[in-house]
Amino acid sequence: MNDKVVFSQLSSKFIDENEDTPPQAQQVIYYGLAIGHHLGVIDCLQAVLNCPWQEYLLWIATLEEGSEAQWKMTGIARYGEIVIDSSHVVMLANAFSVALKKQTEQQQSWSQQLLHMLADIHQESAIYLMVRRARG
């Protein structure tokens, strides 16, 4: 089995517009943006971290047993994907920082990369991560 876990980070957003969009519809799109909805907005995600599925499972097993962080990260096994946004930054950063001391060198590298991505989200709350299991 060649499954892997892919962490993709929001790299940009743009409004899906064309010349045929009536002005009233454009107003609805801009209003949706103003109130925080993604109506008419396309998110561009860029893969920033990949790890083999079995190695991913071993990595998240280094998190505190039964912790909220471990539950969040095992969501990929339950749902096939998870979203990590600003509401998860502190919890995950603390958990992965603590786990560093019992991780292998490879796991520490992944944790450091994730900690940098979490710092990016902390600096700009519009950024988020989409984490998916890719079958292959």
pLDDT tens digits, one per residue of 25-79: 666 666 665 555 555 555 678 899 999 999 999 999 999 999 999 999 999 999 9
Chain-centre distance for alpha carbon 62: 19
* pTM metric for this prediction: 0.79
Task: Identify which has the larger pLDDT, 32 or 3.
Answer: 3
Q: DSSP H helical segments within 9-134, as ranges? A: 23-34, 53-60, 68-73, 75-79, 89-99, 105-123
